[in-house]
Structure 1
Amino acid sequence: MIQNNSVCDIGFIGLGVMGKNLVLNLADNGFSIAAFDLDISKVEGVIEQDKAESGLSTARVIGCTSYTELLSRLKPPHLIVLSVPAGAPVDQVCENLIGAGIQPDDIVIDTGNSLWVDTVAREKKYKNNFILFSSAVSGGEVGARFGPALMPSGSPYAWTRIKPIWEAIAAKVDDATGKPIERTKPGDIVTEGEPCAAYIGPAGAGHYVKMVHNGIEYADMQIICEAYQMLRDGLALSSDEIADIFALWNKGPLESYLMEISVEVLRHRVGEDQTPLVDLILDKAGQKGTGLWTAVSSLELGTPAPTIAQAVYARSISSFKDLRVKASTILSGPELITLDKNEKQAFIAQLHDAIYSAKICAYAQGFQLMKLAEKEHDWQLNFASIAKIWRAGCIIRAAFLQSITEAFERNPELDNLLLDDFFAKQLSKHQMNWRKSVSNSALMGIPTGAISSALSYYDSIRCAVLPANLLQAQRDFFGAHTFERIDKSTGKKYHVNWSTPTRDMVEIG
């Protein structure tokens, strides 16, 4: 029981949705917390919620009214968790802690969605003031409360102090089956199973991995939304009928958190006439930047992530609502196609395989991006471990993450997930239905940028000879950019004097 003069295990700054639920999670697992927020009502709110959920007369959380009081309430060396918006707010809190007297051996953990390069810069900036550690958190509000996936990185020494705490509050998985061990109500504690928390690497590595996680999340969500539109507009199905299909799919290889919540959303009704809520929601999607950061990183590193990028573009084009409404009255599409019962069943089966195949490609793009980043930044990422911690607690948790884990356990040096025997066979098995589904979307005039781009990615990866030979010739023609030849030594560069009548070819270097 915490008394007002007690010394706490952990300081916590930022009691928004994620912060509040992480505090309650920590309390459930036996840790005492000194909590601070600029909004005093949030401090009072988490204390009252803790009392109500624990059934104790005294809360397991002490409220603080200043940074100085927060530090005074903690056991030295201090351990402080931040749950504040990425960017300037993180630096502002760090500066305030310095002003309050934080010490060089104290640890500050940034749990927000900070841009990874900002994390690297902050570790250097504050190294003489305190130890900055980062730990991205995935799982949203429910994950934070009952077990998130955690992607920590930074000082190995700091991790030794943080590890038992993070493993206690993280989601847990039965490692033999890959199935989450559910914790669904306040006071639940799960001690068995493998924690979805593993040290990722040096400063910035954890936030980079979380960034890619969110990029995959963008793609996964968009793929499901495109399937929804195919069923809604292509087959004129109701939200309940689509929910029934998604619920059935969620019992097979498409089993995932995102599919599960899509079913719930589609079934939810509001108002006296019980209108499906999804039909009343404005079709303008928001974004907070992590998907964009992932797409930009893929361009910077020169590794393809077209499905992730298309998911970002899809959100962008949705924001042009007025333009789309106007264009819908000007630009024509194909004539409506009517399908009979058997054709509809085939359409649905084809769409199932298209979603499954596109998801595999989206994950393949994300893991290949992390592999290139590992080389670029001299990290040592354990991809089997990353897949493991994504099996529960996070937004992209899905049944087939167990297969991804096994793929990297078989071959830690796997260049691309599509080259793993299991996934190669899955794509080979489902590709014709995938192709038919993409054809259906084109013939019906229904946009499926994510699903279609994934198919193009698959076909590009499996194509031994791409038309880049012509592209290189074009570049050499107008810009003397040179090219290599397949009949000459590797690394030799050539240029054609295109402006001369004889068009002589010369070797460059």
Structure 2
Amino acid sequence: MTDKLNDFGLIGLAVMGQNLVLNVESRGFHVSVYNRTAAVTDEFVAQHPGKRLTATHTLADFVQSLARPRKVMIMVKAGAAVDAVIEQLLPLLEADDIVIDGGNSLYTDTERRDAWLTPLGLRFIGAGVSGGEEGARKGPAIMPGGPASTWAVMQPIFESIAAVAEGQPCVRHIGPGGAGHYVKMIHNGIEYGDMQLICEAYHLMQSAGMATLEIAEVFNRWNEGELQSYLVQITGKALEQIDPETGRPIVELILDKAGQKGTGQWTLVNAAEQAVVISTINAAVEARVLSSQKAQRVAASQILQGPTTPWTGDQAARDALVAKIHDALYAAKVISYAQGLDLVRSMSAHKGWDIDLGGLASIWRGGCIIRARFLNHITDAYRTQPDLAHLMLAPYFAALLNRTQQAWREVVAHAVTQGIPVPAMSASLGYYDSLRTARLPANLLQAQRDFFGAHTYERIDKPAGQWFHTDWPEVVG
């Protein structure tokens, strides 16, 4: 222990926790660290001699080492582990101390913890942190929720450790209660959609006979243009990585069973509750689930038939297809972001959070997993029209979608005729076409509902809000 009380404390020294500690310390702050396994604490501090770090072996020592109001960040597995740490901290903390949950907690858990700690005089922040291990060390995007007064206390630390984009730190106060963890959940849902779309683009090129290293070159080239993004960048790097044991690209040796940690599923549940369509994200989550059914897919591949005529395009045809895939990927990626932001808009209105969508897009421009060049255009769209009803209707994005929609259709059609699954890309196109269709066949659906359940319907030739029922003919048999 040192005589000086430290500025910040962090509990949970897994990789993300360690990198956040080093980030905070590198900005001039003195940091206390605690891990349930004392050996992990000691090893971590020993590996960084000369740093402003204090190793503590009990939570009592950890709390006593911090200046008031104490700033305690918890970086443990979401769920019961967070509650357990808070339970142990409660007898040790004092009024106005700040507890920050920096994990991927469900926003409803954050709201419950806020309601638990506030009457005890403690201040609670649910902070979404995105950027992975590298972001945690060099600058993540941070999405803190909670009282504005608590944000004011944490602002100097959070702004100093966050990534910077366009000269601005990639952190801002999102809103009260669980707003911070909520938008991190939506960030992850968009991430699911984005990743699946990129994988579908890869699959399309692979099915056109392109070698893995050729596809890597395409993604590297795309990353220099309007598709520039962290996920496109790492895709190119992943595809060109060679396995030293076999000399083959490592992606060719990775089993095609995708994992997930729950945030995508949470997003789907919330969208259903809010009656907001997020078909791209839904397709991406389902694609991961289906990928995990490897044995069933292998068995089905021996029974179920697909197209019998493979594509035999020459190099010029392949180049043309790649150009169309570029446009289809760009358009569908916009849909993933648009759907996620539409859900944030709906939930913000429902909860009274008053989330600034332009401000949210601005902090996603750096540090986080979904950072992309076109987030500048998203930021501008909402700053120009703060009451924008839907991102797709902003002039820049409407023009982009109008420009790319034909190539997008041709890519989806090509995939269908070749039997290549593109669930997220086709779901995005279906959403686009549904949104731009002034009259959908829901009139027939309403007739069906009224036929079997007398649910009633409105008429186009009568004032809105008037409901009608038809005496339909009886059906026998």
Alignment correspondent of 2:453: 479
Tell me what 1:61 maps to: 53
Shift of 1:500: 6.2
Q: Write the mapping of 1:33-432 to structure 2, written as runs, cut at 5 A.
A: 33-51=31-49, 56=50, 59-99=51-91, 101-129=92-120, 130-174=122-166, 193-233=167-207, 235-335=208-308, 336-432=310-406
CA deviation after TM superposition for structure 1 residue 342, in Å: 1.6
Helix, strand or coil at the partner of 2:156: helix
Which ranges in structure 1 are unaligned for 5 or more consecutive residues? 175-192, 502-509
- Determine the C-alpha separation between the residues in 1 that align with 2:273 and 2:163: 33
Which position in structure 2 is the counterpart of 1:179? none
* TM-score scaled by length of structure 2: 0.97
Task: Verify the 8 A CA contact 1:104 1:128 in the aligned structure 2.
Answer: no
Instruction: Give percent identity, aligned residues only.
Output: 46
| 1:128 Cα deviation after fit | 2.9
Cα drift, residue 47 of structure 1: 1.1
Shift of 1:29: 0.3
Is the contact between residue 50 and residue 60 of structure 1 (CA under 8 Å) also seen in structure 2?
no
3-state SS, counterpart of residue 308 of structure 1:
helix
**C-alpha offsets along residues 158-199 of structure 1, whole Å, 9 cap, x if unaligned?**
11110011000000112xxxxxxxxxxxxxxxxxx2100000
Q: CA deviation at 1:390?
A: 0.2
Letter of the 2:109 partner, please give it. D
Q: Tell me which amino acid in the other structure corresponds to 1:107.
A: I
Per-residue Cα deviation, 1:335-377 (whole angstroms, up to 9, x for no partner)? 2121112211111111010000000111110111111101111
Structure 1, 137-146 or 5-14: larger mean CA deviation: 5-14
**Contact 1:8–1:74 (CA<8 Å) still a contact in 2?**
yes
Work out the CA distance in 1 between the residues paired with 2:72 and 2:394. Answer: 42
Tell me how far apart the structure 1 counterparts of residues 53 and 419 of structure 2 sit (CA, whole Å).
56
1:308 maps to a residue whose letter is I
Structure 1 residue 48: Cα displacement: 2.8
By how many angstroms is 1:497 displaced? 2.0
Look up the equivalent residue of 2:371 and give its one-letter code. Answer: R
Using the TM superposition, give the Cα deviation of residue 49 of structure 1 relative to its aligned residue in structure 2, in angstroms. 3.4
SS in structure 2 at match of 1:161: helix
Partner of 2:6: 8
Tell me the secondary structure at the aligned position of residue 496 of structure 1: coil
- CA 1:500–1:286: 2 relative to 1, 3 Å: closer
Over 2 Å off, 4+ runs: 3-6, 48-51
1:506 corresponds to which residue? none
> Does the 8 Å CA contact 1:104/1:127 hold for their aligned counterparts?
no
Of stretches 40-49 and 378-387 in structure 1, the one that deviates more from structure 2 is 40-49
For residues 363 and 5 of structure 2, the distance between their equivalents in structure 1, rounded to whole angstroms, comes to 32
Q: What's the TM-score once normalised by structure 1's chain length?
A: 0.91
Structure 1 residue 452, shift from structure 2 partner:
0.6
Cα pair 1:149 1:392 within 8 Å, conserved: yes
Counterpart CA distance in 2 for 1:31 and 1:285 is 39
Residue 23 of structure 2 corresponds to residue 22 of structure 1: no
Report Cα offsets for 1:436-487 as digits up to 9, x if no partner: 0001111110000001100000000100001111001101111111111111
CA distance in 2, matches of 1:391, 1:226: 24
Matched to 2:270, the amino acid is S
Partner of residue 449 from structure 1, selected from 400, 416, 423: 423
Query: Aligned AA for 1:243?
Result: A
The letter for the 2-side match of 1:127 is: T
Secondary structure (helix, strand or coil) at the match of 1:34 reads: strand
Does the 8 Å CA contact 1:152/1:200 hold for their aligned counterparts? yes
CA–CA distance in structure 2, aligned partners of residues 22 and 49 of structure 1: 15
For 2:304 and 2:148, how far apart are their aligned partners in 1?
A: 58
Which residue type is aligned with residue 103 of structure 2?
G
- Structure 2: runs of 5 or more not aligned: none
Distance 1:316 1:264 in 2: 25
Contact 1:347 1:437 in 2 (8 A): yes
- In structure 1, the residue corresponding to 2:126 is in which secondary structure? strand
Tell me the secondary structure at the aligned position of residue 269 of structure 1. Answer: coil
The whole-number CA distance in structure 2 between the counterparts of 1:42 and 1:85 is 16
CA drift at 1:131 = 1.2
Q: Could you tell me how far apart the structure 2 residues matched to 1:318 and 1:82 are?
A: 33
Equivalent-residue separation in structure 2 for 1:41 and 1:317 (angstroms) = 41
* CA distance in 1: counterparts of 2:197 and 2:236, whole angstroms: 15
- Distance in 2, Cα, partners of 1:79 & 1:492: 57
Instruction: Deviation per CA, 1:384-422: give whole Å up to 9, x if none.
Output: 100000000000000000000000011011111110011
Residue 211 of structure 1, CA deviation:
0.6
Q: CA deviation at 1:149?
A: 0.2
Deviation at 1:12, TM superposition (A): 0.9
RMSD: 1.2
2:409 matched to which residue of 1?
435
Letter in 2 for 1:42: V
Match status 1:461 vs 2:453:
no
